[in-house]
Structure 1
Amino acid sequence: MQTTRSFIGIDLGPAASAAVARLLQKLRGQTSAVRWVEEQQLHLTIKFLGELDNVLLPGVCANLRAVCQHCEPFRLSLGELGTFPRGKPPRVVWVGIDDPESRLQALYERLDEAFVEYGLPRESRGFSPHLTLGRVKSQADTLDLQTKFDQLPGLTATEFEVEEIHLLASVKQGRTTQYEPIDTVELAGVM
Structure 2
Amino acid sequence: MANTIRTFVALPVSDAVSEFLKQIQERLRSSRTNIRWVPATNIHLTLKFLGDIDLSTLPATRAQMDAVTRSIAPFTLTAKGAGVFPNLRQARVLWVGLTGDIDQLGLLQNTIESEFVSLGFKRDRRPFRAHLTIGRTRQRPDPKVLGALLEPLKDASSEPFRIDQIRLYQSVLKPSGAEYKMLHAAPLAAGTRMKI
- Answer whether TM exceeds 0.5 for this pair: yes
Which residue of the partner structure matches residue 106 of structure 2? 105
Alpha carbons 2:42, 2:180 under 8 Å: kept: yes
Deviates more, 1:147-156 or 1:64-73: 147-156
Q: Distance in 2 between matches of 1:64 and 1:21?
A: 30
Which residue of the partner structure matches residue 185 of structure 1? 186
For residues 23-73 of structure 1, the C-alpha deviation after alignment (integer angstroms, 9 at most, x for no partner) is 111111123311111111111111111111111111000000000112221
Match status 1:48 vs 2:87: no
User: Which amino acid in 1 is paired with 2:21?
Assistant: V
Which residue of the partner structure matches residue 116 of structure 2? 115
The change in CA–CA distance for 1:108 and 1:156 in structure 2 (over 3 A counts) is: same
The two structures have a TM-score, normalised by structure 2, of 0.89
Which residue of the partner structure matches residue 83 of structure 1? 84
Measure how far apart 1:139 and its partner are.
Answer: 1.4
Deviates more, 1:91-100 or 1:175-184: 91-100
Identity %: 31
Alpha carbons 1:70, 1:189 under 8 Å: kept: no
Match status 1:151 vs 2:152: yes
Which residue of the partner structure matches residue 136 of structure 2? 135
Measure how far apart 1:108 and its partner are.
Answer: 0.5
The change in CA–CA distance for 1:145 and 1:118 in structure 2 (over 3 A counts) is: same
Gaps of 5+ in 1: none
Which residue of the partner structure matches residue 161 of structure 2? 160
For residues 107-154 of structure 1, the C-alpha deviation after alignment (integer angstroms, 9 at most, x for no partner) is 001000011122221121111010001000011545521221113473
User: Which amino acid in 2 is paired with 1:43?
Assistant: H
The two structures have a TM-score, normalised by structure 1, of 0.91
Q: Distance in 1 between matches of 2:190 and 2:86?
A: 36
